């Protein structure tokens, strides 16, 4: 439910191409490839970074949303709250039937999660950030090498 809609569809949540990009990236990492390749094409670094950002933001939204719903609506268990949040974020329409018993604050958060899932978390965060306002020309620092393991 969290992953499943395809690009240009009316579904929300994480798109199938985002998951595919992440899986291909992991495969390339395991095989030790420098470039991320699929169908004789190379994926750009910005595409991979965007996919990672979208997936991470989606996970964070669902986790925090589950906690918020479980706190604002004590009649929900953590699993029930998680189901409602994932269903709202993915704009699936499934429910355990407890939506009418949500507190007013809980209902407002569910509406927010539906909106974020449909429009896209990354789109919303980029619109709210100052990234769109360019003050100075971008500075590109030299690449640093660190040991990761």
- What is the tens place of the pLDDT at every residue in 20-49? 999 999 999 999 999 999 888 999 998 999
Nearest to 3 by CA among 54, 38, 46, 42: 54
CA distance 130 to 111: 25
pLDDT of 132 higher than 70:
no
Q: Which of 27-36, 81-90, 98-107, 124-133 comes out lowest in average pLDDT?
A: 124-133
CA distance 71 to 56: 23
Tokens read off for 40? 């004789």
| Beta carbons of 28 and 35 less than 8 angstroms apart | yes
pLDDT score recorded for residue 145: 74
pLDDT band at 131 (very low <50, low <70, confident <90, very high): low
Q: Say what percent of the chain tops pLDDT 90.
A: 40
For 53-69, what is the mean pLDDT?
93
pLDDT band at 78 (very low <50, low <70, confident <90, very high): very high
Name the helix (H) or strand (E) containing 133.
Answer: none
pLDDT score recorded for residue 13: 82
């Amino acid at each position: 439910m969290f992953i499943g809609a395809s690009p240009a569809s009316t579904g929300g949540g994480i798109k199938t191409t985002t998951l595919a990009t992440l899986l291909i990236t992991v495969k390339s990492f395991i095989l030790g490839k420098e470039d991320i390749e699929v169908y004789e094409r190379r994926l750009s670094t910005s595409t991979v970074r965007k996919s990672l950002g979208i997936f991470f933001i989606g996970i964070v939204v669902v986790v925090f949303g589950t906690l918020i719903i479980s706190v604002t609506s004590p009649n929900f268990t953590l699993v029930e709250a998680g189901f409602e949040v994932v269903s709202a974020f993915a704009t699936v329409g499934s429910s355990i039937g407890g939506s009418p018993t949500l507190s007013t604050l809980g209902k407002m958060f569910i509406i927010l999660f539906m909106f974020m899932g449909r429009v896209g978390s990354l789109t919303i965060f980029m619109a709210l950030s100052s990234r769109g306002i360019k003050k100075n020309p971008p500075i590109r620092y030299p690449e640093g090498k660190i040991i990761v393991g």
